[in-house]
């Protein structure tokens, strides 16, 4: 007799295409919208930043390099030293390094367009909002920098920066890059003045890196994966309110009375509500995850753990459904069921992290979210997507089992003992 009750619930659901559309179509639409709209934020990506950099050199760097080498010869330095700097002079020319190795790097060359300008163009560029920054190199900059680095003299060598206030993000990036470049020059100066080999620093860094214990990398969670789980775990809760509404409708139309008159135990009807709700929730989750698997390639590495988690969560949803049914039968009112679908589900979704990872900002909120059925299941699903196994999600599954059991027990205690009438 249990199967006819489940079949009856299925027919009632099929006669309500609007409910089916909301239960299946709404989460899919939300996954598509949120997964695409928030992909940059969830994936840690930054908006595309582009700009133009104008470099104004008041003196040719090549002439400064020649002057520096002539000074070294006049100082009577060893021939080997002079020959070394003649061969390596291009590798220590600061402006050339800045243009070729820094601004010409793979990361920055796609973001910024470099343009070398003359002094006569300075005012024009400063009034042009299309430029992110004007970098002015004073006279003797390279010459003074090399005499400080190589000969240990105290000479001031500063670049003059004009930034566009209307492109603060791009200008901020460039200032940060220039700061790192200055730090590197300072480090090289220290090594040169103390006659240290820069290879020692590199070797120490490599040794330090080798001492770091590698951590097993997990599969990253992008926006489509996150909102697939978030919308699935949230919307499946509406199954409980839908089944609860169907059951209360049977109270008003005296269908339950006829079932009792047919010598069917009310507890069999109670179990039928539990199983049908869990079955429908299981099917809803499979459809939503199946869609994301086909369209967005959201796949769970451990299929067995996925089906186990889905089945346990569906059973928890069934527990909520029978609890709502029992209370509405006891109170002879559908108010609680409507309040659950209209308010409680939203609160649980917010705390559980269905809308955004609120738990990342507070450990307390994260723990609180894990004590909701949707939050616990969401944590379990995300762990599985990252590549974890049963050991990592055991606590969440245990909570869901206990929640389903407690909800069912409370519903059984609340369910009217004599038919439906109070």
- Band the pLDDT of 216: cuts 50, 70, 90: very low
Asked if residues 181 and 158 have their Cβ atoms less than 8 Å apart, the reply is no
Q: Does the structure show a pLDDT above 90 at 356?
A: no
Tokens encoding 26: 């709404």
Q: Does the structure show a pLDDT above 60 at 418?
A: no
- Kindly report, residue by residue over 203-214, the tens digit of the pLDDT: 444 443 343 333
DSSP for 320-362, please give it.
HHHHHHHHHHHHT-SHHHHHIIIIIHHHHHHHHTSSS-GGGG-
100-104: long-range contacts, CB 8 A cutoff, minimum separation 24: 102/177, 102/181, 103/53
Separation CA 20–CA 335 (nearest Å): 22
Give the three-class secondary structure for 162.
strand
pLDDT for 202: 39
Please give the share of the chain, as a percent, with pLDDT higher than 90.
17
Instruction: Identify the residue with better confidence: 294 or 73.
Output: 294
Instruction: Identify the residue with better confidence: 199 or 58.
Output: 58
**pTM listed for this prediction:** 0.58
Separation CA 239–CA 304 (nearest Å): 24
Instruction: Please name which of 281, 299, 172, 181 lies closest in space to residue 237, comparing C-alpha atoms.
Output: 281
Count of positions (residues) in the chain: 422
Q: What is the DSSP letter of 61?
A: H
Phi then psi dihedrals of residue 75, to 5 deg? -75, -5
CATH T-level topology, domain 51-211: abc type-2 transporter like fold (3.40.1710)
pLDDT for 200: 42
Estimate the crossing angle of helix 223-235 against helix 345-352, to 10 degrees: 150
Stretch 119-123: mean pLDDT: 88
pLDDT for 306: 94
CB atoms closer than 10 angstroms to residue 146: 27
Stretch 134-155: mean pLDDT: 83
Domain segments of the chain: what residues?
A: 2-43+225-414, 51-211
- Range name among 73-87, 119-133, 354-368 with the lowest pLDDT average: 354-368
52 bridge partner residues: 113
H-run or E-run covering 114: strand 112-117
Separation CA 294–CA 32 (nearest Å): 13
136 bridge partner residues: 56, 160
Stretch 305-325: mean pLDDT: 92
Q: Does the structure show a pLDDT above 90 at 406?
A: yes
Tokens encoding 96: 């050339």
H-run or E-run covering 261: helix 255-261
CB atoms closer than 10 angstroms to residue 62: 13
242 bridge partner residues: none
pLDDT for 291: 92
274-277: long-range contacts, CB 8 A cutoff, minimum separation 24: 274/318, 274/319, 274/321, 274/322, 274/408, 275/2, 275/6, 275/318, 276/5, 276/6, 276/9, 276/10, 276/243, 276/318, 277/9, 277/239, 277/240, 277/243, 277/317, 277/318, 277/320, 277/321, 277/322
């Amino acid at each position: 007799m249990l199967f006819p009750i489940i079949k009856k619930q299925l027919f009632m659901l099929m006669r309500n295409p609007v409910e089916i559309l909301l239960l299946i179509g709404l989460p899919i639409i939300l996954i598509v919208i949120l997964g695409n709209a928030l992909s940059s934020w969830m994936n840690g990506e930054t908006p595309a930043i582009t700009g133009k950099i104008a470099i104004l050199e008041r003196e040719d760097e090549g002439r400064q390099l020649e002057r520096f080498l002539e000074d070294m010869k006049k100082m009577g330095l060893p021939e080997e030293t002079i020959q070394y700097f003649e061969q390596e002079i291009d590798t220590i020319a600061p402006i050339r390094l800045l243009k070729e190795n820094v601004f010409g790097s793979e990361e920055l060359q796609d973001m910024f367009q470099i343009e070398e300008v003359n002094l006569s163009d300075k005012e024009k560029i400063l009034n042009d909002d299309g430029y992110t920054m004007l970098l002015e190199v004073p006279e003797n900059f390279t010459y003074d920098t090399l005499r400080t680095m190589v000969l240990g003299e105290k000479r001031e060598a500063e670049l003059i920066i004009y930034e566009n206030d209307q492109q603060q993000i791009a200008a901020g990036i460039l200032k940060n890059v220039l700061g790192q470049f200055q730090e590197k020059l300072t480090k090289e100066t220290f090594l040169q003045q103390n006659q240290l080999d820069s290879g020692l620093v590199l070797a120490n860094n490599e040794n330090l890196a080798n001492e770091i214990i590698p951590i097993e990398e997990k599969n990253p969670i992008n926006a489509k994966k996150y909102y697939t789980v978030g919308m699935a775990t949230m919307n499946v809760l509406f199954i409980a309110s839908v089944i609860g509404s169907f059951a209360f409708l049977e109270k008003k139309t005296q269908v339950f009375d006829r079932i009792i008159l047919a010598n069917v135990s009310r507890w069999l009807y109670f179990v039928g509500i539990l199983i049908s709700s869990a079955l429908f929730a299981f099917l809803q989750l499979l459809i939503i995850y199946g869609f994301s698997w086909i369209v967005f390639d959201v796949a769970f590495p451990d299929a067995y753990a996925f089906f186990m988690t889905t089945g346990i969560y569906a059973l928890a949803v069934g527990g909520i459904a029978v609890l709502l049914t029992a209370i509405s039968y006891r109170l002879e009112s559908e108010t609680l069921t409507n309040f659950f679908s209209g308010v409680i589900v939203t609160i649980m979704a917010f705390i559980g992290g269905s809308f955004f990872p609120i738990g990342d900002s507070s450990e307390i909120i994260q723990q609180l979210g894990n004590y909701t059925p949707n939050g616990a299941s969401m944590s379990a699903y995300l762990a599985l997507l990252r590549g974890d196994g049963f050991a990592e999600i055991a606590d969440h599954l245990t909570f869901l089992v206990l929640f389903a059991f407690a909800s069912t027990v409370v519903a059984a205690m609340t369910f009217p003992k004599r038919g439906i009438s109070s």
